[in-house]
Amino acid sequence: MSVFAALQVILLWFTHFELGLQSADSCSATDDRLIITEAGFKPYCVMPNTKKVVTKTNEVTLQFISNAQVDAQGFRAFYSAGMSALWYWFSDCSALMLGSLA
């Protein structure tokens, strides 16, 4: 594996993130929630004020679970992969690095 292959990451950013009324636990079974899972790391429930997330690997799963109440607009997410996402992480350290949460 080349050094560049090992540095492949994904940048996710949210332009809108509203999941309705939330309990103190962002992963509560009674709330709408967005869970990001990355191989080898603990799943992460995205907090409502999260704007950007950078992964440690080049493969993630996003799972949105709804409580079936229509009390919010939801979220809008975009992504960038590869070296451009890695460059972004080093240039803007306000992004949340997922692997550090494991």
Spatial separation of the C-alpha atoms in residues 96 and 87, rounded to whole Å: 14
Does any domain span residue 10?
yes
pLDDT, tens only, 50-96: 888 888 888 899 998 887 777 778 888 888 887 665 555 555 555 55
Residue 61 pLDDT? 93
In a domain, 102, yes or no: no
The pLDDT value recorded for residue 3 is 46
Is residue 28 included in any domain, yes or no?
yes
**Domain assignment of residue 64, given as a range:** 3-97
Q: Say which CATH number the domain at 54 has.
A: 2.60.120.290
Q: Is residue 16 part of a domain?
A: yes
Residue 31 has pLDDT above 60, yes or no: yes
Amino acid at 87: W
Residue 52 lies inside a defined structural domain of this protein:
yes
Q: Is residue 23 part of a domain?
A: yes
How do 52-54 and 96-97 pair as beta strands? parallel
Cβ-contact 38, 60 below 8 angstroms: yes
Count up the domains in the chain and report the number: 1
Q: Tens of pLDDT along 41-58?
A: 899 888 878 888 888 888
